Structure formats: C-alpha cells, structure tokens
Amino acid sequence: MERKTQATGQPSRTDGDSRGTAQTISDCFADPILLKIADLVDMHRLLPIVIALACAGCAVPAAWKCPGVTAPDHKLRACLLSVGKSGPPFNESRIEIHDTQDRLLATKDFKSSDGEHGRNVQKAEWTADSQFFVFSTASSGGHSPWHWQTYFYDRRKNVFKELDDFTGPVIKRDFILTPPDKVEVTVQGTSADPSDIVTGHTVQKTLSTL
C-alpha cells in the first residue's frame, strides 16, 4: 500500500532525470518488514482512540431506582418522591438530586407536620444545558390555589432556590424553558391591576445569573 508523505519545502533529491517529486513511504521503505512497522506505528497512534470509543460504548448506565427526571447529559437525576399523609393530588413531595452512582447530592423536602401545609411538584424539567432543574408546586392543603410557587436546583452551587424571589409570585403552573438556561413564568399583576392573579404578566430570567 502506497502512502504519501507531506512536502517539506526543501528541494527534493533528484537523479539523472531531475524528477523533483516528493517520495512516498514505499519509495523510502521498499522492504516489506519496514512497511509493516510503519503500519504498526500508525495503529499505535490510533489505539487510544479505539479504546476510548469501546469504553464509551460499553459504559454501564446509572442504576437509579427512584421515579424522577434525568438530566440531558445523563449525569444527574432529580428524584421526585411522594411523602406526607395523603396521596395525589394532596400529597407532598421531596426532591432529591442523585449522581450516576446514586449518591444523594442535595434535597428539598416539602413535607409538613399535618400533611396540609406542604407542597407537591407539578411540572418539572431540566434546562438544556443540564445545569438547572426547574419545578412548579401546589399546596398540599389547597391553600392559595392561584400561587404556583416555582423553584430551581442550581447544579454548580448545589443549592435549591425559589424562583418567585426573583420574579414575584408565580400564578401559572406551566413555565417555559429556552436553551441554554432561560425560564419564562407568568406572575401576579397587570399594568391595570397589580393585584391580578388571573391574567398576570410574563417574566423571563436567565437562571445562571440568579
């Protein structure tokens, strides 16, 4: 098999007919044994890449045993656990963030002592960059049913934060995520009525800035 070498920019060695063309590996290593060595050298360079690809294909998936939502990069899972005294829709929730080895990294518990003053998760979703887990909640006792307190988990800081603290009271269950980490919610108040809890107005926030 013939392999061409790159031109060096130096004048080529010429014979009597002054060819002046770049030599090939076959020209330099006419001996079959030397050509075989050259092939092995190339394979040696490719071997780490081949091993890496093989390992990626044989990677063992995380053994998460909890219901929940897995991050897009498959490195974290937000476990959504039902706690409290009642079942849905009046249950209460505990959110646990687990890594690929199923180790607990962070938790947010909405369980109340009487089972009526906690909260349960409604909508839950990871941002496209896997850095934030966003979820809206409802009261387990039916209190202030207009108020859908919304929270998010910050992966870099390993903490939970309430989105309402940055936007005002969230009055709609559903939020909208836009890559990589922007969230849009509907909050209390309109230009005509600041106390409005039916229509409200939308607010957008970039989670990495909060």
Residues 126 and 71 sit within 8 Å (Cβ to Cβ): yes
Percent residues over pLDDT 70 in the chain:
71
Does residue 32 have a pLDDT over 70? no
Residues 156 and 132 sit within 8 Å (Cβ to Cβ): no
Residue with tokens 């966003």: 134
- Kindly state the average pLDDT of the residues 51-57: 51
Could you report the per-residue pLDDT of 131-147, keeping only the tens digit for each?
999 999 999 998 999 99
Q: What is the pTM of this model?
A: 0.71
pLDDT for residue 69: 97
The domain segmentation of the chain, as residue ranges, is 25-57, 68-209
What CATH architecture is 68-209?
Answer: Beta Barrel (2.40)
- Kindly state the average pLDDT of the residues 148-152: 98
Predicted confidence band at 111 (pLDDT cuts at 50, 70, 90)? very high
For 1-144, strand residue ranges (E) read 68-70, 76-83, 92-99, 104-109, 119-126, 132-139
84 Ramachandran zone, left/alpha/beta (phi>0; psi -120 to 50): left
Predicted confidence band at 71 (pLDDT cuts at 50, 70, 90)? very high
Does residue 53 have a pLDDT over 80? no
Which of the given ranges, 11-20, 85-94, 172-181, has the highest pLDDT on average? 172-181
If one counts every other C-beta atom within 10 angstroms of the C-beta of residue 45, the result is: 9
Chain Cα centroid distance, residue 119: 26
